[in-house]
C-alpha cells in the first residue's frame, strides 16, 4: 500500500491523487479516509446566528469529502476481478 496526503476538500486534487495511486498500485482493494474535524460555535450567538461559512466547511470536510473518496474508490474497485 501507499500513503497519500491530500486536502479532501479539494475534490479535483483528491480524485487526481487517487487515480495516481491506483495506477501506481495496479488496482485498488481498500481506501481509508481519516479526515475529520468540527467547529465549536453556538447556533445562536449574542450578535446573530451561527455562521453559514464555517458550517459549510465542516460539511465539505466531513460529509462531501469523505463521500467523494468513497465514490471514486468504489468506481475503481468495481473494475477488480470478483473474489470468491
Per-residue pLDDT tens over the stretch 3-62: 888 898 999 999 999 999 999 999 999 988 888 888 888 999 999 999 899 999 999 999
3-state helix, strand, coil in the chain (%, to 5): 50, 5, 45
Helix H or strand E segment including 58 = helix 52-59
Residue 17 to residue 56: CA distance in whole angstroms: 24
All three cell numbers of 28, joined, read: 485498488
If one counts every other C-beta atom within 10 angstroms of the C-beta of residue 28, the result is 20
Single pTM value for the model: 0.80
Mutual angle of helices 11-25 and 65-77, in 10-degree steps: 30
Amino acid at each position: 500500500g501507499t500513503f497519500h496526503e491530500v486536502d479532501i476538500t479539494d475534490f479535483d486534487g483528491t480524485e487526481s491523487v487517487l487515480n495516481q495511486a491506483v495506477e501506481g498500485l495496479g488496482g485498488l482493494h481498500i481506501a481509508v479516509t481519516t479526515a475529520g474535524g468540527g467547529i465549536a460555535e453556538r447556533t445562536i450567538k449574542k450578535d446573530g446566528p451561527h455562521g453559514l461559512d464555517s458550517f459549510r466547511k465542516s460539511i465539505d470536510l466531513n460529509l462531501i469529502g469523505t463521500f467523494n473518496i468513497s465514490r471514486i474508490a468504489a468506481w475503481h474497485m468495481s473494475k477488480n476481478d470478483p473474489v470468491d
